[in-house]
Amino acid sequence: MQNASYPPPPASHLAAQTPSPPPIQQPTAQRPFNYSTIPASAPAYKTTFDHASIHNRQPSYNGPTTSIDEADEKVTSPRLQKLTKEMANVMKVPEGPTLVGVPQGGQFVGVQATTQDDVGTFNGGSYRISHRDTNSLLTIQLAMGCPITAKPGVMIAMSPSVMLKGNIKFSVKKLLIGGEMAHSTFTGPGEVLLAPSTLGDISILRLAGHETWSVGRDAFLACTQGVVKEYKSQSISKAMFSGEGLFVYKISGIGILWMSTFGAVLKKDLVDGEKYIIDNGHLVAWNCKYVLERVASGGIISGISSGEGLICKFTGPGTVYMQTRNQAAFAAYMSGSSHKDV
């Protein structure tokens, strides 16, 4: 909105109503002095100034003097020298060769994490992710007629003007693998508050229509209208040992996908040919290839019994989202703790 400009008031109007200012009275200190009252014995004062003497006068200081030696002695006191040396050691940049692959100070590049509120917009609404990163809340503002799709049971509250509709899509594939056959659709106008059932964070995927993501079945939280969500099968080895099951979500289309994680969410960008190893229980979403490998600490049998010994090796280019907690490991920990208490 442009700032409104107002015309100045007319000069004739001000001249007609504004009285003339009163004459300025001369202060007492500036009034002429009657020199006739000065007694004859009073000394005569010089009323002319020697401009040369004024300009050539050197500045003088009547306070306590400090010699240069004394000032240097204060600056070079042992206590100040020690403090200066300690500060120099803290700020000193190490010289010489550095370890291969280790970035210099201030140039650390690794997985990315954040606890700041994530605020954004989409076609037909806006969103805010707050209370990160263990008690995250997704607040969505919907315009008139704008729908979103959400996982059943994740709604906390909503405006009375929002229309809620539950859809059930029967599938033998989902029935066999325990997939979700129902989803909720919220249609605006109004506000919708969503949150996952586990302690963790919420992150977004912005889809531009030219890429496909694989998302774990527990990671899906909600999506906008233009996102396409399908169940796709993995290989038998990945289904058994990747921690994601036989089927995962294949996400494509145009819009926003909101994902939930158990614990904080981490993002790792891989360049072409770069490899990265991730534990099989911490995968959330990825758009690059990976293979399962056994590590030296165990084999496939130990991996089945204890959840150790198998890793997922990803190869770039692409991006991988991870979670800082493992749901299966946490469930086993809680089960063991409950047995100890009994």
Please give the pLDDT value at position 217: 80
Report residue 255 as tokens. Answer: 């819009």
Q: Domains in the chain, ordered, with CATH?
A: 118-333 (3.60.160.10)
Please give the pLDDT value at position 327: 83
Please give the pLDDT value at position 213: 94
Please give the pLDDT value at position 301: 41
pLDDT in tens, the chain (342 residues): 444 444 444 444 444 455 555 665 555 555 555 555 555 555 554 545 455 554 555 554 454 554 444 444 455 577 777 777 777 765 665 555 454 554 555 555 666 666 688 999 999 999 999 998 889 999 999 999 999 999 999 999 999 999 999 765 545 544 444 455 578 999 999 999 999 998 999 999 999 999 999 998 889 999 999 999 887 755 444 444 444 444 678 999 999 999 999 999 999 999 999 999 998 788 899 999 988 777 655 444 444 444 455 678 999 999 999 999 988 888 888 887 655 555
Please give the pLDDT value at position 83: 75
Please give the pLDDT value at position 291: 85
Please tell me the distance from the alpha carbon of residue 128 to that of residue 118, in angstroms, as a whole number.
6
Please tell me the distance from the alpha carbon of residue 286 to that of residue 281, in angstroms, as a whole number.
14
What is the 3 state secondary structure string of the chain?
A: CCCCCCCCCCHHHHHHHCCCCCCCCCCHHHCCCCHHHCCCCCCCCCCCCCHHHHHCCCCCCCCCCCCHHHHHHHHCCHHHHHHHHHHHHHHCCCCCCCCCCCCCCCCCCCCECCCCCEEEEECCEEEEEECCCCECEEEEEECCCCEEEECCCCEEEECCCCEEEEEECCCHHHHHHCCCCEEEEEECCEEEEECCCCCECEEEEEEECCCCEEECCCCEEEEECCEEEEEEECCHHHHHHCCCCCEEEEEEEEEEEEEECCECEEEEEECCCCEEEEEHHHEEEECCEEEEEECCCCCHHHHHHHCCCEEEEEECCEEEEEECCCHHHHHHHHHHHHHHHC
Please give the pLDDT value at position 274: 95
Please give the pLDDT value at position 10: 46
Three-point CA angle 130, 131, 137, nearest 5°: 60
State whether the Cα torsion 140-145-150-153 is positive or negative: positive
Rg (Cα) of the chain, in Å, rounded? 38
CB atoms within 10 A of CB 275: 11
Please give the pLDDT value at position 318: 95
